[in-house]
Structure 1
Amino acid sequence: MEDLKHSLITISTSNISVLQTLLTSFHLHNCSPTPQAYRFVFKTLTKTSQLNNITSVLNHLETSEKFDTPESIFKDVIFTYGSSGKIQEAINLFFKIPNFRCVPSAYTLNALLLVLVRKRSNLEMVPEILLKASRMGVRLEESTFRILIDALCRIGEVDYATELVKYMSDDCVIVDPRLYSRLLSSVCKHKDSSCFDIVGYVEGLRKTRFSPGLRDYTVVMRFLVEGGRGKEVVSVRNQMKCDRIEPDIVCYTIILQGVIADEDYSKAEKLFDELLLLGLTPDVYTYNVYINGLCKQNDIEGGIKMMSSMEKLGSEPNVVTYNILIKALVIAGDLTRAKTLWKEMETNGVDRNSHTYDIMINAFIEVDEVVCAHGLLEEAFKRNLVVKSSRAEQVICRLCEKGLMDQAVELIAHLN
């Protein structure tokens, strides 16, 4: 092996083939190449980008050697072929494994599948490959299904992925709980949140021995809220309690968001009190959702008081908190109070974002204070913030109406 390693260092600068080097190195010591030697040769060919020589080495290994070839060698070569885009060569090698005095298993099948699932177009070949592999006596393991399900989830084919999970359960294959979570997350990502029966879907998975955890319930709740189905979120929370899983602050925040979106404000009050009684500490996201609910009820004073309470309880308001309150004040026609909060942001070290500027620019346009709107727009540009093009066009039009053509032209030049 030492002679072989030394010989292969200079092989790229000589005309001697890798195969010849392999055989010569061992012949000098009156012995035959070992499986480890072949594995080293394949790795060397891969590192030195001499993939064309792999075929000749494989042929010699198949026809001239007598030892049982370790399956790990084929895994390495299959990965090498896959990384180089030689998909058909990888497939052919897998089905030739018995010729090398080796019994293929899920170990090498998984290697081939990992190569195939990198591209969606290759997935069409998978069913036939699985069928042929089965005829060769290769038994699909949980790891094999995991590769396939992960690939299907990644490309959005969640119905096929679900069928595979059900097949695993029917075939008494132990399913890793993380695989269920991966599937559920993918379903919530690719299905229509406004109408898909996600609760019924989870119940269907339960029949395949799935026990949802806190993270799974959180994914389902967020899916329902995104679809505007806040009332169903409450039923999910009740199911969690039946499963003896206590919702955390993230869950309660999502539930609050759902019931507030449905304008069930009395329920939101009860939920907020409930989470406090459970000893949960609201974070800035929880407060923002609750403050937004107060503002939707036109209780802006309550929202401002809640923001003050946040600070006392050690949860600093962020830009979203201020945006919610400033927008509510603008809608209520209290631009003076909105300006006060605008200045307060700078005092408290909270950076304004594009949305903050958009709210105030629009407010100044509405009260015909176009110079102030123009000033904020210029300020936003200097901070490299992205402002809606429609908002900038509004400012330009108002500047022209006021006869402020120079400012309008400068603004147009800035946009271009």
Structure 2
Amino acid sequence: MTRSSSWHRMSNFLRKYRKIPHSSFQTKWNETLKHKHAMEQLRTTLLSNPTSNGSVIQTLTNSFHIHNCKLTPQAYRLVVRTLAKSSNLESIASVLNHLETSEKFETPEHLFKDVIFAYGLSGKIQEAIDVFFKIPKFRCAPSAYTLNALLSVLVRSRESLVMVPEVLVKASGMGVRLEESTFEILVDALCKIGEVDYAGELVKYMSDESYIVDPSLYSKLLSSVCKHKDSKCFDVIGYVEELRKIRFSPDLRDYTVVLRFLVQGGRGKEVVSVLNQMKCDRIEPDLVCYTIILQGVIADEDYSRADKLFDELLLLGLAPDVYTYNVYINGLCKRNDIDGAVKMMACMEKLGCEANVVTYNILIKGLVKGGDMSRAKSVWAEMERDGVDRNSHTYDIMIGGFVEVDDVGYAQGLLEEAFSRNLVVKRSRTEEVICRLCDKGLMDKAVELLAHLV
């Protein structure tokens, strides 16, 4: 039988060295096992014994010396994370000093990210900055990875945010290239503090320099603009068109933000143009969009268009919810079409959409405005039959209506009922009822209400 070539090699080795060679697999496995035991001992010691500056290094070195293996980056990272959790930041400095002067391996960058967060989240901003700029001394090339960690710390407050430009300039001098993620951190921070113009300039710069802009960054910028700009005069439609020039494609959520902004500013005419633009972009408006648009055109008193929009959403197969019905019923009441409002309320209940307290408040307000207090009483009683709880606004509307028709006795009864239910009615409304009672010479009742007011 022919012996294998591996057997010949083994025989030659034994004749020459008179010992059995160790396989590379066995050696590597043994080193891995020793390193594992050293790490377990280090972890146990760190958790069981509070450490001071000097004993941390001793614990670190002894754990690996006992098992006859070299210190590793993983061991240093474990020490840093443990010290950070215990807020023992003074010891982190000594660990970094030992790493810098006593080790020769290339330190992984993620260790410095842990250190920067440990310092930054504890308010030691300058220490975090110093660690970043000392990274090359640890045989490591800093990149956007650690720069982003530092920026995430700096943008947490306005005080440290002013340091960002200087940090960026120095980082560029170290050869750190800014990445898309870096700009996203800065844009997000500027949006949060309301500096939307600077945020917009950064996004434009990214587009001009051919960075890949995440679509969510455009949405965040637009949402922040609508939050911080004056809704009565800011040209948000023009702003969206400017964003389109730098490759922004608004989606349904973005259009919803714009519609809310316009309605908030009382610009009902412009919401229709936004709806038309949505259709041109082949974005189907949902029920939320139609509800917002209805609210805008009704506030603008364009009731005929409101009817068309309500019919349109029905034709598109959208099922109105209670919020949509409330907006439309409010429009009917504003144009004094109380009968239409009552019919619409009956229709919504037939279609399985139950009226809520807002629906009833809208209808009662319309009846009170028209001076039909008898019918308002009927709706008031209907609320109780339908199990809808009256709120403070309901009482305020009814009390105001009875004061207006000079039925101050009924208004007083409603006011006392509200007090008994621990509902807070407007102070001005209570004072109005007290004044009317005084005018009618009902001083005892006025004093009783005054006691409630006090």
Structure 2 length as normaliser, TM-score? 0.88
Q: Measure how far apart 1:207 and its partner are.
A: 0.7
63-72 or 195-204: bigger deviation: 63-72
The match for 1:351 among 389, 392, 397 is: 389
- Which residue does 1:132 correspond to in 2? 170
Task: Check conservation: 1:45, 1:53, Cα contact below 8 A.
Answer: yes
Q: Count residues with an aligned counterpart.
A: 416
Q: CA RMSD in A?
A: 1.6
Bigger radius of gyration:
2
Q: Measure how far apart 1:15 and its partner are.
A: 9.1
Q: Which ranges of structure 2 fall in alignment gaps of 5 or more residues?
A: 1-38
Q: 1:325 to 1:100 in 2, by over 3 A?
A: same
Q: Which ranges of structure 1 fall in alignment gaps of 5 or more residues?
A: none
> Per the alignment, in what secondary structure is the counterpart of residue 134 of structure 2?
helix
- Which residue does 1:170 correspond to in 2? 208
In the aligned structure 2, how far is the partner of 1:44 from the partner of 1:237? 56
Task: Check conservation: 2:132, 2:147, Cα contact below 8 A.
Answer: yes
> Per the alignment, in what secondary structure is the counterpart of residue 223 of structure 1?
helix
Report the residue type matching 1:196 in the other structure: F
Q: Does 1:294 align with 2:332?
A: yes
Task: Check conservation: 1:11, 1:17, Cα contact below 8 A.
Answer: no
Report the residue type matching 1:398 in the other structure: R
In the aligned structure 1, how far is the partner of 2:322 from the partner of 2:136? 61
The match for 2:363 among 311, 325, 336 is: 325
87-96 or 393-402: bigger deviation: 393-402
In the aligned structure 1, how far is the partner of 2:119 from the partner of 2:324? 51
The match for 2:351 among 288, 304, 313 is: 313
After superposition, what is the alpha-carbon deviation per residue over 1:215-262, rounded to whole angstroms, capped at 9, x for unaligned? 111111111111111111111111111111111111111111111122
In the aligned structure 2, how far is the partner of 1:216 from the partner of 1:282? 22
- Which residue does 2:30 correspond to in 1? none
Q: Measure how far apart 1:30 and its partner are.
A: 3.0
> Per the alignment, in what secondary structure is the counterpart of residue 17 of structure 1?
helix
In the aligned structure 1, how far is the partner of 2:42 from the partner of 2:64? 8
Report the residue type matching 1:382 in the other structure: S
The match for 1:234 among 272, 287, 303 is: 272
Q: Measure how far apart 1:387 and its partner are.
A: 2.1
14-23 or 40-49: bigger deviation: 14-23
In the aligned structure 2, how far is the partner of 1:386 from the partner of 1:192? 32
Q: Measure how far apart 1:400 and its partner are.
A: 2.8
- Which residue does 1:272 correspond to in 2? 310
Q: Does 1:26 align with 2:64?
A: yes
Task: Check conservation: 1:307, 1:317, Cα contact below 8 A.
Answer: yes
Report the residue type matching 1:356 in the other structure: T
75-84 or 367-376: bigger deviation: 367-376
In the aligned structure 2, how far is the partner of 1:238 from the partner of 1:309? 29
In the aligned structure 2, how far is the partner of 1:35 from the partner of 1:209? 43
Task: Check conservation: 2:52, 2:91, Cα contact below 8 A.
Answer: no
- Which residue does 2:372 correspond to in 1? 334
1-10 or 230-239: bigger deviation: 1-10
Q: Measure how far apart 1:299 and its partner are.
A: 0.6
Q: Measure how far apart 1:14 and its partner are.
A: 8.1
Q: Does 1:212 align with 2:236?
A: no
Report the residue type matching 1:17 in the other structure: S
Q: Does 1:412 align with 2:450?
A: yes
- Identity between Structure 1 and Structure 2 (%): 77
The match for 2:191 among 153, 158, 172 is: 153
In the aligned structure 2, how far is the partner of 1:82 from the partner of 1:15? 20
Task: Check conservation: 2:128, 2:150, Cα contact below 8 A.
Answer: yes
> Per the alignment, in what secondary structure is the counterpart of residue 266 of structure 1?
helix
- Which residue does 2:17 correspond to in 1? none
- Which residue does 1:2 correspond to in 2? 40
Task: Check conservation: 2:408, 2:433, Cα contact below 8 A.
Answer: yes
Q: Which residues of 2 match residues 23-172 of structure 1 at below 5 A? A: 23-172=61-210
> Per the alignment, in what secondary structure is the counterpart of residue 162 of structure 2?
helix
> Per the alignment, in what secondary structure is the counterpart of residue 130 of structure 1?
helix
Task: Check conservation: 2:53, 2:91, Cα contact below 8 A.
Answer: no
> Per the alignment, in what secondary structure is the counterpart of residue 367 of structure 2?
helix
Q: 1:313 to 1:22 in 2, by over 3 A?
A: same
> Per the alignment, in what secondary structure is the counterpart of residue 104 of structure 1?
coil
In the aligned structure 1, how far is the partner of 2:423 from the partner of 2:130? 55
Q: Measure how far apart 1:39 and its partner are.
A: 0.7
Report the residue type matching 2:175 in the other structure: G
> Per the alignment, in what secondary structure is the counterpart of residue 184 of structure 1?
helix
- Which residue does 1:375 correspond to in 2? 413
203-212 or 124-133: bigger deviation: 124-133
394-403 or 57-66: bigger deviation: 394-403
In the aligned structure 2, how far is the partner of 1:13 from the partner of 1:240? 63
In the aligned structure 2, how far is the partner of 1:19 from the partner of 1:415? 70
Task: Check conservation: 2:53, 2:94, Cα contact below 8 A.
Answer: no
After superposition, what is the alpha-carbon deviation per residue over 1:194-216, rounded to whole angstroms, capped at 9, x for unaligned? 11000000000001100000111
Q: Which residues of 2 match residues 387-406 of structure 1 at below 5 A? A: 387-406=425-444
In the aligned structure 1, how far is the partner of 2:51 from the partner of 2:143? 39
Q: Measure how far apart 1:16 and its partner are.
A: 6.0
Report the residue type matching 2:238 in the other structure: G
Report the residue type matching 2:90 in the other structure: N
The match for 1:304 among 327, 336, 342 is: 342
